[in-house]
Amino acid sequence: ERKKLLGREFIVERFNWLCKKPQGKFQAAAQIRSGQREVKVCVVQEKGKLRIVCDAPVEGITPGQICALYKGRRCIGGGRIMRALSE
C-alpha cells in the first residue's frame, strides 16, 4: 500500500530562483516535505516549468507542496509542485 505513495518524477511551477538561473538540465538535491531528507535529482527546464526526476523514489509528492532545490548546502530556490508524473 505504501508503494502507491512513492514517486520519482514531478512538475514544479512558479519557481523562485535565489541565484543565477542555470541553463539547461542540471543536477541538484531536492526536499519536498519539512523534515524529509534531501534526494538527488536531475532538473529539466521545460516551458517555464521544471521537471524534477529523483534518483530514488520519494514519498508524498503532492500538488501544492513546496519543492526546495539545493546545490551543496545552499538553497538555490523553490517552487510549488503542480503534479506528480506517472511512471
Q: Where are the domains of the chain?
A: 2-84
Q: What is the pLDDT of residue 2?
A: 57
Q: What is the pLDDT of residue 60?
A: 80
Residue numbers of the chain with a pLDDT score lower than 70:
1-4, 87
Q: What is the pLDDT of residue 44?
A: 97
What are the pLDDT digits (tens) for 68-77? 999 999 999 9
Enter the C-alpha cell of residue 55: 534518483
CATH number for the segment(s) 2-84: 2.40.30.10
Residue with cell 512513492: 6
Residue with cell 548546502: 73
Q: What is the pLDDT of residue 55?
A: 96
